[in-house]
Amino acid sequence: MLKIGTRGSLLALTQAGTVRDALIATGHQAELVVVRTAGDESAAPVQEIGVGVFTTALRDELFSGAVDIAVHSYKDLPTAPDERFVIAAIPPREDSRDALVARDGLVLGELPAGSKVGTSAPRRAAQLRALGLGLDVVPLRGNLDTRLRKVADGELDAVVVARAGLSRIDRLDAVTEALEPVQMLPAPAQGALAVECRIDDAESIAALALQDDPQSRAAVTAERALLAELEAGCTAPVGAIAEVVESIDESGRIFDELSLRGCAAALDGSDVVKASIVGSPDDAEKLGRDLARELLDLGARELMAVTEPASGGGGAGA
């Protein structure tokens, strides 16, 4: 019986359940094991609790042998590799875009200046402010149901969350606008799962092999390489999205290319630098690091050092 470690939230259980069901479908016995984390015990912002808070407890249980597999939201994993483990599978990725859930069915451009918009991510806050819409961007914690309820109850005018999470818990009906990357670049690896096991556990590695999606792995590898080269963590105001796309050369040959876009922003919304690159999916990590160096040349490190405005609102042009 393969034991799959997961957090106890509806989203985490749903994500881990897809891995369990896929294992069972390929002839393996598997069950979920709920692991409590420090993040589940605190209402403080992630920046205060610490990067990796939602993964440390899972990894402790995995290393101890209490579970055989851990399922993470990949964007929550630290960029530094942990030599005890291997990401044995990255299943096909969900839509990586952010989603707006707003009162009265409004889209982002229809929210009046001064509207209270909740988000848990400095990346989202920085890009929202940079749009210059005059929104009052406020911090947000809690599971997805709690966040949606703040809009329904009128406490907030809107929240911005990952579309993938809403899709996985069948709440896409709440989305009033899926935010295109031209408006807001998602977090590196957003919408992807990291299915992790001990590096010496050949049985689990073999069992998970069929769940790995090469295109999702290439995209996530590039995005996280960008994040690592910027020496930024999952709470940094950095966005990235990579996609494997078909191209055609002069002789008519069709081949795959990896397209990567990235950005770094000032938390106060005063500036955002963006860049893009295209290359072979086989060079995913190099592409990510090359694009990060281009962002650094454009001033990314200095921008990421800019602090959040004391008021929590405003933004460029607000």
| pLDDT tens string 1-26 | 999 999 999 999 999 999 999 999 99
- Per-residue pLDDT, 41: 56
Alpha-carbon distances of 105 from 123, 130, 133, 287, 318, rounded to whole Å: 24, 23, 18, 39, 23
Q: Is the pLDDT of residue 235 over 80?
A: no
For 251-291, the pLDDT digits (tens) are 889 989 999 999 999 999 999 999 999 999 999 999 999 99
Tell me the C-alpha distance between 101 and 298, whole Å: 33
* Mean pLDDT of the region 57-74: 96
Residue 231: the pLDDT is 85
Structure confidence at residue 251 (pLDDT): 87
pLDDT digits (tens, 9 = 90+) for 36-56: 865 555 454 444 545 466 789
Give kind and range of the element (H or E) at residue 259: strand 254-265
Taking residues 89-106, what's their average pLDDT? 97
Residue 153 annotated to the active site: no
Given 3-state DSSP classes, what are the helix, strand and coil percentages for the chain, each rounded to the nearest 5? 40, 25, 40
- 258: exposed, middle or buried (Cβ count in 10 Å: 0-12, 13-18, 19+): buried
Query: Average pLDDT, whole number, for the chain?
Result: 91
Mean pLDDT for 200-213 is: 97
Is the pLDDT reported for residue 143 higher than 70?
yes
For residue range 98-131, what is the model confidence (pLDDT) as tens digits? 999 999 999 999 999 999 999 989 999 999 999 9
Residue 155, pLDDT above cutoff 90? yes
Confidence of residue 315 (pLDDT cuts 50, 70, 90): very low
Give the whole-angstrom CA distance, residue 157 versus residue 135: 10
Q: What's the whole-number mean pLDDT along residues 185-205?
A: 97
Q: Do 49 and 39 touch, CB atoms closer than 8 A?
A: yes
Structural tokens at position 142: 């809690």
pLDDT classification of 195: cutoffs 50, 70, 90: very high
pLDDT number for residue 51 = 46
pLDDT at 310: 52
Tell me which of 21, 60, 68, 76 is the catalytic residue.
Answer: 76
- Token pair recorded at residue 312: 């929590």
Q: What is the mean pLDDT of the segment spanning 227-244?
A: 89
Are 15 and 193 in contact, with CB atoms under 8 Å apart?
yes
Of the two residues 208 and 50, the one the predictor is more confident about is 208
The label of the residue with tokens 């921008």 reads: 303
Q: Which of 143-152, 189-198, 230-239 has the lowest mean pLDDT?
A: 230-239
